[in-house]
A and B are shown apart, each in its own frame.
Chain A
Amino acid sequence: MAEGISEIVATLMMLVIVSSIGIGLYVYSMGYFTTTASALGEVSRLDVNTLRERFAVVDVIVSRSGGGTEVSAAVYNYGKTTVTLQMMFLNGTQLAVSDVERVPPGGLIWFNGSVPVTIPEGSLCYLRVVSALGNVHETVVVS
């Protein structure tokens, strides 16, 4: 009788131990795989959005005032996703942009930036517009 009880207890204990370890493993695995899948999904979504983002600078106005130079770039979004314009560079120098601009699909906006240096009239400049997703459009302008 005693032997039978100890066998039941041993079996129950074994069940509890195996179940505990198993459940622990399951919970850990669930967290790991869920996080991994979520991260991979997010990376993939970002990559796809980066790939689908399309914009072009179609016109540029360079003007000088008060010892500084202001640049207005007409940016056209010819893609199907909204483009967030983040930065602008003139000959590698970052311009101070007034605000982050969002361009809806098919939209055309003027993206403005300024630099506290007067760029001589007729200078050849490379203007680079950068989106929040890291896409770049570069164009040559004469100030």
Chain B
Amino acid sequence: MLWGMSMKQLWSPEAKRKGVSTVIGAAIFLLIFTLAVSAVFVWTQSYANYVEAAREESAFIVEKNMEELMLMFLNSSGKLAVIARNPTPMTIIVTQVWSNHSVQTGEWVIPAKSRVTISTTLDYKGMILSKVVTSRGNVFSGTQTIGEGEGGGEIPEQDIMDAGRWYVQWYNLSARQVFDTKLGNSYWQSLSITFSWGAAENDPIFGPYTQVGFNATTRVVALGTKMYINWYVNEDCRVIVKEIGADTGWNSGAGYLEADVSPGGVYTVTVLYSRWTGAPYLTLNLVNADFLTLLK
């Protein structure tokens, strides 16, 4: 339109009057534009708040996952005492101590790389029924105490198994499958074991010993109506599930045990291994089962 106008038309009184509505229109446009911008500002501010909250949450999850406590639950004159070691570089605050279904709340600060003893008024109910909760929402139990008794005391075999380990006792053999002299212990932490060592008959397995065997026992909770224990062994292994009276006898090669179990039921599994000659290897896998620590 403007291109078709002459300079006279542009500066004429008519053009000036038409400019009044343009000014009002522009003012209203500006108002609406301001509204739109303020709405966008509010939205971006909300989004920024959300992003900030997400960032804080991520940082918190990282801190939570970094928490680690090494615990020992002691019977102190019938009352529960907890020795807590914090191996991490950050401070951990314990807010609850549980013994069975009883709780004592408080605030016990465990500085980085240090050890604190927590005395409670709770009755001692054993390691499996004791746990602590931290301010970051982690629940820790005493599974990390295996292998080192506070004050030199030995940890009972039952506690080792309840804490999610195989209790493995090594023996020197006087003949095939004859366990004579106990050599020592191991604590395995997986229900899927691959044991393989050496190839020749005279390759030692335990110190200078070449003809050795072990008796590994753990307690598991069944996760279905069938529990399978699979193995692959050179020579020889035997699997026993105490509660259902299952005993496979001695086996070599590949095989499995299919056990009828109750979901949630607790079963004691024992694996015997005997190496007399040949390459020592055993692969063992439990399916539909987990360590008792699942129940904590």
Binding site for B on A (CB under 8 A): 7, 11, 14-15, 18-19, 22-23, 25-26, 29-30, 33-34, 36-37, 40-41, 43-45, 47-48, 51-52, 54-56, 58-59, 61, 74, 76, 78, 106, 108, 122-125, 140-143
Contacts and interface: CB of A to CB of B under 8 A. Distances in A.
A18 B103 CA distance: 73
B28 A30 contact: no
A122 B137 contact: no
A142 B264 CA distance: 6
Contacts of A122: 262, 264-266
B139 A56 contact: yes
Given A56-B137, A56-B139, A142-B295, A29 B25 contact: no
B21 interface: yes
A22 B28 contact: yes
B98 A58 contact: yes
B43 A37 contact: yes
A124 B49 contact: no
Interface stretch (B31-39, B83-91, B151-159, B177-185): B31-39
B28 A26 contact: yes
Q: Is the interface of A mostly helix, strand, loop or mixed?
A: helix
Nearest to A76: B133
A11 B32 CA distance: 24
Contact of B42 (A15, A23, A41, A124): A41
A34 B20 CA distance: 29
Contacts of A141: 295
B49 A108 contact: no
Contacts of B53: 47-48, 51-52
Contacts of A51: 50, 53-54, 57
Given A14-B21, A78-B137, A108 B103 contact: yes
A26 B294 CA distance: 63
A81 B234 CA distance: 59
B50 A143 contact: no
A124 B98 contact: no
A29 B36 contact: yes
B243 to A, nearest CB: 11
A140 B294 contact: yes
A11 B28 contact: no
Given A33-B38, A76-B96, 12 more contacts: A18-B25, A26-B35, A37-B38, A45-B46, A51-B50, A54-B60, A56-B137, A58-B133, A74-B103, A108-B103, A142-B295, A143-B264
Nearest to A57: B139
B50 A22 contact: no
A110 B90 CA distance: 30
A123 B28 contact: no
20 contacts: A11-B17, A14-B20, A18-B21, A18-B25, A25-B32, A26-B35, A36-B39, A37-B39, A40-B46, A44-B49, A48-B53, A51-B53, A52-B57, A54-B60, A58-B96, A58-B133, A59-B103, A106-B95, A108-B105, A122-B264
A106 B103 CA distance: 14
Contacts of B266: 122
4 closest Cβ pairs, A-B complex: A124-B264, A44-B46, A22-B28, A78-B137
Contacts of A30: 35
B268 to A, nearest CB: 15
B256 to A, nearest CB: 22
A78 B47 CA distance: 25
Interface string B186-216: 0000000000000000000000000000000
